[in-house]
Amino acid sequence: MTDKEKRMIADEANMIVSGYSYTKSDKGIEIVNLNMLEPHTMVINLDGKMIESSMDPIEQSVAIDLWNSNKEFMEV
């Protein structure tokens, strides 16, 4: 992922925590790890249940934990 692509994702994000962008979409909450060269993404519902993911299990756990700890600050 290029720096330009990362900036576009970050600009559209509703919330960024520890390098993970969280963006509300029709699917749910789209999460992108902005620290990776290749896109690592996941979609969760508002309850934090995974719908689809290209992240490894540890990364999924981190992203969901960050969501659960910070979702009150996200404008959804």
- What secondary structure does DSSP assign to 20-46, as a single string? EEEEE-SSSEEEEETT-SS--EEEE-T
User: Tell me: the pLDDT tens digits for 47-69?
Assistant: 889 999 999 999 999 999 999 99
How much of the chain exceeds pLDDT 70, in percent? 97
pLDDT given for residue 76 in this prediction: 55
pLDDT given for residue 24 in this prediction: 95
pLDDT given for residue 47 in this prediction: 85
Strand-pair partners of 2: none
Residue 39 pLDDT class (50, 70, 90 cuts):
confident
Domain parsing of the chain, residue ranges: 3-73
pLDDT at 75 over 80: no
- CA–CA gap between residue 37 and residue 39 (Å, rounded): 6
What count of other Cβ atoms lies within 10 Å of the Cβ of residue 33? 20
Query: How big, in percent rounded to 5, are the helix, strand and coil portions of the chain?
Result: 35, 30, 35
